[in-house]
Chain A
Amino acid sequence: MTTTTAETRAAAPLVRLTNAGKRYGNIIALTGIDLEVSGSEVTCVLGDNGAGKSTLIKIIAGLHQHDEGTYEVEGEPVRFNSPREALARGIATVYQDLAVVSLMPVWRNFFLGNELRKGPAMDLARMRRTAKQELLDMGIDLRDVDQPIGTLSGGERQCVAIARAVHFGAKVLILDEPTAALGVKQAGVVLRYIVQAKERGIGVVFITHNPHHAYPVGDRFLLLNRGRSIGYFAKNEISLAELTGLMAGGAELEQLTHELQQAGGEDSELRQVAAALEHEIAELGVGAAPRSDGPAARDERPSP
């Protein structure tokens, strides 16, 4: 698995986890996870709350170390001791809280910690111009980079944080639930942005619990449940309906339908909801989704 010769390294994915796991004391937070992302590729990590998504990001980002399996960056096994080390290898993480300072102007936020200097001072003109241009290149047309970043919408803030990571040399972007707190339209803006990053040759690890956000932009899908992989698919192996069905956990949905039907014996509205749910489950084809954890699904690159 450890590919160290020069030619195989060139072909190796930017980030590859093999059979990775993490324990906190006697709690198994994550086990047997395989994941890879190459340049110009989006790997989506899907799972409900507590599925182990955060632990997975923390391993990739260098906040935590894996206890099992291997973590390779461009074919080379690594063990990061801090996010700075991961960043030095081009792995940048955009956390849910975005790491922006709301009262500060957009351009100051953009360069925070990486200010351009001209002698003892900052090169204000170039910083403003660069921030504006970089955001424009990624499709965000800000009215004024001098406005406090807190006045931007959630989606725009997310985009600034992503653009910043891209500008400062990220090869792999880890996005922690970037669409979670956003409305439909704003989420669309962020998704478009993820595609932009991908087209620039960046590998993206997109963490979400929403299959409708993941499916249109993703090339691979890793589904997590209770710290384990419940499926790892290339895009051509799975449909949105199947993905949604797997995510929702078919058995649980059926149980819910059943309960609703019982509770709604005298309530016509509840009965309607239950019926609609039943219909949806049938449409999604829950249970029919290919649950392949096998190496075939794992190692096959999706054909373009």
Chain B
Amino acid sequence: MSQTADVGVKPPPPRDERVAQRSLLSRLLTRPEIGALVGAIIIYIIFFAVAPPFRDLDSLATVLYVSSTYGIPAVAVALLMIGGEFDLSAGVAVTSSALVASMFSYQFTVNMWVGVVVALVVALAIGFINGYLVVRTGIPSFLVTLGTFFMLRGLNLAVTKLVTGNVGTNDVSNIQGFESARKVFASTFTVGGVAIRVTLLWWLLFVVAGTWVLLRTHIGNWIFAVGGSAPNSRAVGVPVNRVKIGLFMTVGFLCWFTGMHILFAFNTVQSGIGVGNEFIYIVAAVVGGCLLTGGYGSAIGAAIGAFIFGMANQGIVYAGWNPDWFYFFLGALLLGAILLNNWVRKRAEAMR
């Protein structure tokens, strides 16, 4: 079929004299996440300067914790965006997963882990339905997931009220299996006197895994391709629909993970939370260098984007600014980060 074997034994072509050995800096500048990195450093320096409590390692750990709770779903949202799609239902899907796990284990008095697995199935099913509707109908994912967003939001409240008679779930901390599940999803350990939440490790793991898949595997090649041009990818044999559905299910998976963290960190879940978080995931991905139109971006960038959000979120508190202004600052900050990102990327492209 292919002649790769013959090619393999040929000596590698000599280095092209037209390409100067690219310096580390210039290679760094062509990465999609470079703009976000510069923005993150600037924001870090600003808060470091104006907010003395921000300088503590404990504060940094808190910032990282907040970042991780947004950063975990943002990894999947970034992959999905590179694949050319949106998911507006991600924010409430987190809540749905937590509600399902909590209510299932409580109502059926089964081991907590059973509820956790049931919630996983539900979250993956939500992702599958989103993806299936998008690829089957050809309706833009923005509209499809806007629909599922409202449906889930309604279901979260209605089903919770139906089952518990309340807007929140019952405390599940006495259920068997809670402690072991808490260890996995919401434990804390100390390193050098600094309390670190386990979500930070999971976040790192997911970012590394996402980056590896994107850059080193054929699946990653397909993700970039379906986002760059779905018809052209199909023409060369990429299973476009499977890739897209898989991406929506990945979002479902990481939403489930975040939902489990919320459940085991707080023991109860309020059915109304999560609304609006989908935008934070998307913003983290975009600030991190993902193109809204697909085909370009990185998982590391989304992580940096989430870190910027975490810094803004906590930094305003540490700086003692009036928290009423939080969303204004946040919006301005994100806009600035996106502008900076665009500017740096244009400069980087010009340097090529």
Q: Residues of A with Cβ closer than 8 Å to B? A: 83-84, 95, 97-104, 108, 111-117, 120-122, 124, 126, 129-130, 132-134, 136, 141-144, 147, 151, 167-169
* Chain A residues, CB < 8 A from B232: 97-101
Interface pair B221/A115, CB less than 8 Å apart: yes
- Chain B residues within 8 Å of chain A by Cβ, number: 31
Q: Does B19 contact A (CB under 8 A)?
A: yes
Known: A134-B7, A147-B352, A169-B2. A101 touches B225 (CB 8 A): yes
* A–B pairs, 26, beta carbons within 8 Å: A101-B224, A101-B232, A101-B295, A102-B228, A103-B224, A103-B295, A104-B221, A104-B224, A104-B228, A104-B295, A111-B221, A112-B225, A112-B236, A114-B2, A114-B237, A121-B216, A121-B217, A126-B4, A129-B12, A130-B7, A130-B8, A143-B19, A144-B19, A151-B352, A167-B3, A169-B2
Chain A residue at minimum C-beta to C-beta distance from B12: A129
* Chain B residues, CB < 8 A from A169: 1-3
Chain A residue at minimum C-beta to C-beta distance from B3: A167
Report the bound CA distance from A291 to B237 in whole Å. Answer: 42
Tell me which residues from 16 to 30 in chain B have a Cβ below 8 Å from any Cβ of chain A: 16, 18-19
Interface pair A132/B225, CB less than 8 Å apart: no
Supply 20 further A-B pairs (C-beta < 8 A) apart from A102-B229, A122-B217, A143-B19: A98-B232, A100-B229, A101-B232, A101-B233, A103-B228, A103-B296, A104-B221, A115-B218, A120-B217, A121-B212, A122-B216, A122-B218, A126-B8, A129-B13, A134-B7, A136-B13, A142-B16, A144-B19, A167-B3, A167-B4
Chain B residue at minimum C-beta to C-beta distance from A150: B228
Chain B nearest Cβ from A124, distance in angstroms: 7
Chain B residue at minimum C-beta to C-beta distance from A135: B13
* Central interface residue in B3, B18, B233, B236, by most chain A CB within 10 Å: B236
Report the bound CA distance from A129 to B5 in whole Å. Answer: 12
Q: Does B303 contact A (CB under 8 A)?
A: no
* Chain A residues, CB < 8 A from B295: 101, 103-104
Report the bound CA distance from A116 to B217 in whole Å. Answer: 9
Q: Does B136 contact A (CB under 8 A)?
A: no
Interface pair A124/B225, CB less than 8 Å apart: no
Interface pair B228/A144, CB less than 8 Å apart: no
Report the bound CA distance from A99 to B238 in whole Å. Answer: 11
Interface pair A99/B19, CB less than 8 Å apart: no
Report the bound CA distance from A89 to B43 in whole Å. Answer: 59
* Chain A residues, CB < 8 A from B216: 121-122, 124
Report the bound CA distance from A126 to B4 in whole Å. Answer: 9
Interface pair A108/B221, CB less than 8 Å apart: yes
Interface pair A112/B233, CB less than 8 Å apart: yes
Chain B residue at minimum C-beta to C-beta distance from A118: B216
Interface pair B237/A84, CB less than 8 Å apart: yes
Report the bound CA distance from A172 to B96 in whole Å. Answer: 54
Counting from the closest, the 4 A-B pairs by CB-CB distance are A101-B228, A115-B218, A113-B237, A113-B236
Report the bound CA distance from A48 to B247 in whole Å. Answer: 44
* Chain A residues, CB < 8 A from B238: 112-113
Report the bound CA distance from A108 to B10 in whole Å. Answer: 21
Chain B nearest Cβ from A26, distance in angstroms: 29
Interface string of B201-245 (1 = CB under 8 A from A): 000000000001000111001101100110011011110000000
Partner of A130, one of B4, B217, B236: B4
Known: A84-B237, A98-B232, A130-B4. A108 touches B217 (CB 8 A): no
* Chain A residues, CB < 8 A from B296: 103
* Chain B residues, CB < 8 A from A124: 216
Chain A residue at minimum C-beta to C-beta distance from B217: A121
* Chain B residues, CB < 8 A from A99: 232, 235-236
* Chain B residues, CB < 8 A from A103: 224, 228, 295-296
Chain A nearest Cβ from B3, distance in angstroms: 6
Report the bound CA distance from A147 to B10 in whole Å. Answer: 23
Report the bound CA distance from A133 to B218 in whole Å. Answer: 21
Report the bound CA distance from A95 to B231 in whole Å. Answer: 12
* Central interface residue in B18, B212, B222, B232, by most chain A CB within 10 Å: B232
* Chain B residues, CB < 8 A from A111: 221
Chain B residue at minimum C-beta to C-beta distance from A137: B7
* Chain B residues, CB < 8 A from A98: 232
* Chain A residues, CB < 8 A from B225: 101, 104, 108, 112
* Chain B residues, CB < 8 A from A130: 4, 7-8
Report the bound CA distance from A98 to B3 in whole Å. Answer: 22
Report the bound CA distance from A113 to B240 in whole Å. Answer: 10
Chain A nearest Cβ from B243, distance in angstroms: 11
* Chain A residues, CB < 8 A from B235: 83, 95, 99
Interface pair A167/B2, CB less than 8 Å apart: yes
* Central interface residue in A104, A143, A147, by most chain B CB within 10 Å: A104
Chain B nearest Cβ from A182, distance in angstroms: 19
Chain A residue at minimum C-beta to C-beta distance from B1: A169
Chain A nearest Cβ from B242, distance in angstroms: 13
* Central interface residue in A84, A113, A142, A169, by most chain B CB within 10 Å: A113
Report the bound CA distance from A134 to B4 in whole Å. Answer: 9
Report the bound CA distance from A130 to B18 in whole Å. Answer: 19
* Chain B residues, CB < 8 A from A167: 2-4
Report the bound CA distance from A292 to B107 in whole Å. Answer: 85
Report the bound CA distance from A228 to B119 in whole Å. Answer: 63
Partner of B13, one of A104, A120, A133, A168: A133
Chain A residue at minimum C-beta to C-beta distance from B212: A121
Chain B nearest Cβ from A9, distance in angstroms: 21
Partner of A144, one of B16, B217, B224, B229: B16
Chain A nearest Cβ from B298, distance in angstroms: 13
Chain B nearest Cβ from A213, distance in angstroms: 24
* Chain A residues, CB < 8 A from B16: 141-144
Known: A103-B295, A104-B295, A130-B7. A168 touches B1 (CB 8 A): yes
